[in-house]
Every structure is written in C-alpha cells, then in structure tokens.
C-alpha cells in the first residue's frame, strides 16, 4: 500500500502550524494538568477502531482529549525535576528521523547512524572539556547509561563475569545523595543493593572522600571486591558536586571503575568557569550527560562516554551470522557497546541542536539560567521568612520557610495548585525543602520573578 502523501501534506501543515503556535506560547496551557488518575483512560474508547480515521480527526482528539492530560515540560514556568526543552532544531530532527525510520543495529544497517553518532558526541566531548580518550554513544536515559557503566565495571574487576556471572561480592559506592538510577543499575547488574555503599555526604551534600577511603579499605580487608565508584557531578536534589580528584585517587588504590554522573550539570561544563567540576576526568572510566536535560535536545538523548570502549565490547559483543559486517577497522557497530540491538537515529537531533545554537548560544543560555537562579537565591536570602536549604551552584535552588516543615509542604502544594507554575520538593538530611529548577529555553527572568512573587504571596496566606 502506498503512503497517502497528500494526506501527509495536509496533516503535517496543520500539525506544524499547531507546533509553531505551541512553541510561541506554551504558557496558554496550565503547566501541570488538573486531573485524577484514570481520567484519560476513561475518556478514550476501550478498543481501537475497526476502520481507519483521518489524520484531522486524530489531531482534533489530540487537542481535546490528550492535551488536557499533558504536563508541559516545554512551558517556561516548568520548574520541577530538571526543566528541559524540545527546541526548534530538536523537533525538526525528530520529524526527519521518524521519516527515515533507519535502525542502526550495526554499521551496515545504517552507516549514518553509526558515524553521525560518533561525530555529534565527539563535538560535545570537546565542548565539555573531556579528555579525547573518551568514546561516546547515545542511550535513551542516564539510568541506562549508568547501568552500562556498572556492567562495564563488573567486567573490569572480573573478566570471567561474562561467562560465569558474579561469583564473588562486588561492591559499588556512591554518596548518600546519588540518584536512584544507581540503585537500579546495581539491581540490574546482579550486584545487589546490599553491596551498594551510600557514602555519607558533607554539610554541602558532597561525598566525603575520607568516608569513601574508610569504606573501601574495610571492604577490601574483609575480602570483598571494590568494583565501582559513582561520582555525582550535580546531584538531583541540590546539584552538589562530589570532589572528583580525591575520589579518583582513592578508587585508583583499589583499581575500581569510576563513573561520573553528570546527567544534568554536565551541560555547565560548556562554561570555562565550571571546568573545575570535571577536573581529573581523564583519569575516570566513564561519564554520563543528558542533552535532554539542560542542552535543549528533546527527550530522549543521554550520552555515555567511556575511556574503555574495549571493556564494553568485551562485555557485549555477540555476533550471529545475520549481524556480520565488513570487518573494516573504521567500522563501528554500536550494538557491540551495550545491551540494545536496535538504535534510533538520536544523533540527528543532537547534531541539529549543536549546529543550530552553536557553542556560544548554548553557553549564553546556560549562563542565563545560572544568573536567574543566583538572583532567586538572593531574593530567598533577603526575605527573613525564608532560607536556602542548600548552596545553589547551578540553576536549581532549594528553599524552605523557616517557620515549619508543614508550611513549606503546604507552600509547594499551593504553588502547584495554581497551574501557573510547577515546582518540586526534596528531602535534605531529613529536612523537607522546596526545589526550583530552571532550564527551559523559553524561561526568562520575568518568569522567575513571577514565581517568586507567587511564592511570597502564597506564603503570606498559609
């Protein structure tokens, strides 16, 4: 059956008009939907249609039924989680990549997927100031990137693991502030949560190297195998940065793999003033950064870098006859560097984004967000009812009302109930905090100012 290209022309014009209007003013929607769980399911038919429907009808229902259930991550007043952006170049690249629908299993299945991925992650590596020894590839999420780091670390300390599975306890270390994806990686890799050591953080939420040294020494003395240390370069709660160089020294003494989780804050490494954050990276083993967080690339796009691609290849290469390729030394088959066989053309959107903005514009946007966060932190400090709950080195600010935890909780609920702003919350050493993360391309100082005005107004009414 041939494609109905005429229908495509009509519907894509309508859809792209819709997209343009949306990107112009997403703020005409509530940022977070007002609905009960199950509401959308109940509004949609229990079974799919027997005969096909027109693209126009489907778009009409997208507007009427789906949109009211959408949380608008592309809204300039989205301050929850880590704000991010589906930018113009990203949207266009996603259209083109969906059209080609090319699947880069191995080199020959789509040379463009294999080679553009190397180029795009190479550009980003240079801009982040990472050592040129890093090989990069794109996964969907940081969770999957970190899972691959932990699996590589397993192979690193025990080359028989691929054949025999884990035969002795391997120990993984992170700070007590590390992201929950570390726990999941440890589960997925068969290491077990009992073998994950959450090292105490200091009063600024950074891993304490002395505590790591003691824990690794104690494990080694007990006959256990220190396997992997995960360094957070920008934790999710407070964006604190673990001290990389001392940790590298300690891990090296045990020959453990060091993985840097820079999912969000890695973007700030594009700024020379934040180069300190990844100083020593040429001695680490792997790193993850998510362009789908603070680099204006639509979800999903997570870049995993490693200085030891050979370890990944050793872990994951399995080549049945139908996947054999030419064997040329320049040929890279990304299926050999991870669990997945199929591979979307994600590099196209990263390449589009890096080219469209260029390094200078990306730096300007990231600097702008950091300046907005500094200003917000200043307003918090200047209001005697509030306090900062943590230092704010990047574009996220944690704050609380001094009066009580209950009031801070009520404040977060009240802000989010307005539908005009969407902020988050976290727990910091047992104390509740509200959390504001700035990072959408369209967010302006006016948006942050309006948020602060709303926070102070609502705090007065609690």
Residues that bind ligand PLP (CB under 6 A): 82, 141-143, 179, 181, 232, 234-236, 261, 263-264, 290, 302
Least Cβ distance, residue 174 to ligand PLP (angstroms): 10
Considering the complex, state which of residue 107 and residue 305 has its C-beta at the smaller distance from ligand PLP: 305
DSSP codes of every residue in 173-223: EEETT--HHHHHHHHHTT--GGGEEEEPB-TTS-B-HHHHHHHHHHHHHTT
In angstroms, the Cα distances linking 129 to 239, 275, 301, 355 are 19, 7, 20, 18
Q: Report which of 77, 31, 80 is spatially closest to residue 444, judged by C-alpha positions.
A: 77
**Which residue number, 215 or 267, has a Cβ lying nearer to ligand PLP?**
267
Q: How far is the CB of 74 from ligand PLP (least distance, A)?
A: 17
Closest CA to 180 of 229, 142, 209: 142
Residue 82 or 345: the one with the smaller Cβ distance to ligand PLP is 82
Strand partners, 197: 173
CB of 240 to ligand PLP, least distance (A): 10
* Residue 423 to residue 419: CA distance in whole angstroms: 10
| Closer of 290 and 347 to ligand PLP (Cβ) | 290
Q: Is 222 helix (H, G, I), strand (E, B) or coil?
A: coil
Cα 408 from Cα 390, distance rounded (Å): 15
**Is residue 165 within 8 Å of 190, Cβ to Cβ?**
yes
Query: Toward ligand PLP, which CB reaches closer, 284 or 401?
Result: 284
Pick 154 or 259: Cβ nearer ligand PLP: 259
Q: How far is the CB of 135 from ligand PLP (least distance, A)?
A: 20
Q: How far is the CB of 303 from ligand PLP (least distance, A)?
A: 11
Q: What is the DSSP letter of 140?
A: S
Q: Give the distance from CA 64 to its chain's centroid.
A: 30
> Shortest gap between Cβ of 288 and ligand PLP (angstroms)?
7
Stated length of the chain: 462
């Amino acid at each position: 059956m041939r494609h109905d290209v005429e229908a495509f022309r009509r519907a894509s014009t309508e859809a792209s008009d819709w997209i343009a209007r949306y990107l112009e003013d997403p703020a005409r929607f509530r940022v977070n939907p007002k609905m009960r769980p199950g509401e959308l399911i109940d509004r949609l038919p229990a079974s799919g249609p027997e005969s096909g429907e027109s693209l126009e009808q489907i778009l009409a229902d997208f507007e009427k039924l789906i949109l009211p259930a959408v949380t608008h991550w592309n809204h300039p007043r989205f301050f929850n989680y880590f704000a991010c952006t589906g930018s113009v170049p990203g949207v266009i690249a996603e259209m083109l990549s969906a059209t080609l629908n090319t699947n880069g299993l191995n080199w020959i299945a789509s040379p463009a997927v294999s080679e553009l991925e190397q180029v795009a992650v190479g550009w980003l590596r240079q801009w982040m100031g990472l050592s040129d020894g890093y090989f990069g590839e794109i996964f969907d999420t940081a969770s999957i990137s970190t899972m691959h780091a932990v699996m590589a670390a397993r192979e690193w300390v025990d080359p028989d693991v691929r054949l025999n599975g884990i035969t002795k306890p391997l120990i993984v270390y992170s700070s007590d502030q590390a992201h929950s994806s570390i726990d999941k990686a440890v589960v997925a890799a068969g290491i077990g949560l009992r073998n994950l050591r959450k090292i105490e953080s200091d009063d600024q939420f950074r891993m304490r190297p002395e505590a790591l040294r003691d824990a690794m020494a104690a494990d080694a003395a007990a006959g256990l195998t220190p396997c992997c240390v995960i360094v957070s370069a920008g934790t999710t709660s407070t964006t604190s940065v673990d001290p990389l160089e001392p940790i590298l020294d300690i891990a090296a003494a045990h020959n453990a793999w060091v993985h840097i989780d820079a999912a969000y804050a890695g973007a700030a490494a594009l700024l020379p003033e934040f180069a300190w954050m990844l100083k020593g990276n040429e001695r680490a083993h792997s790193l993850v950064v998510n362009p789908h967080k603070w680099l204006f690339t639509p979800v999903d796009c997570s870049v995993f870098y490693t200085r030891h691609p050979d370890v990944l290849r050793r872990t994951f290469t399995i080549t049945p006859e139908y996947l054999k390729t030419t064997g040329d030394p320049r040929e890279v088959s990304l299926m050999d560097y991870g669990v997945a066989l199929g591979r979307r053309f994600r590099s196209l959107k990263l390449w589009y984004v890096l080219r469209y903005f260029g390094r200078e514009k990306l730096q300007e946007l990231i600097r702008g967000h950091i300046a907005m966060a500094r200003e917000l932190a200043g307003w918090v400090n200047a209001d005697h009812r509030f306090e900062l709950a943590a230092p704010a080195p990047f574009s996220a600010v944690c704050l609380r009302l001094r009066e009580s935890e209950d009031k801070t909780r009520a404040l977060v609920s009240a802000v989010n109930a307005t539908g005009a702003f969407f902020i988050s919350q976290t727990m910091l050493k047992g104390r509740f905090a509200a959390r504001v993360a700035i990072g959408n391309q369209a967010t302006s100082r006016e948006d942050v100012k309006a948020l602060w005005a709303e926070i102070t107004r609502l705090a007065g009414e609690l």
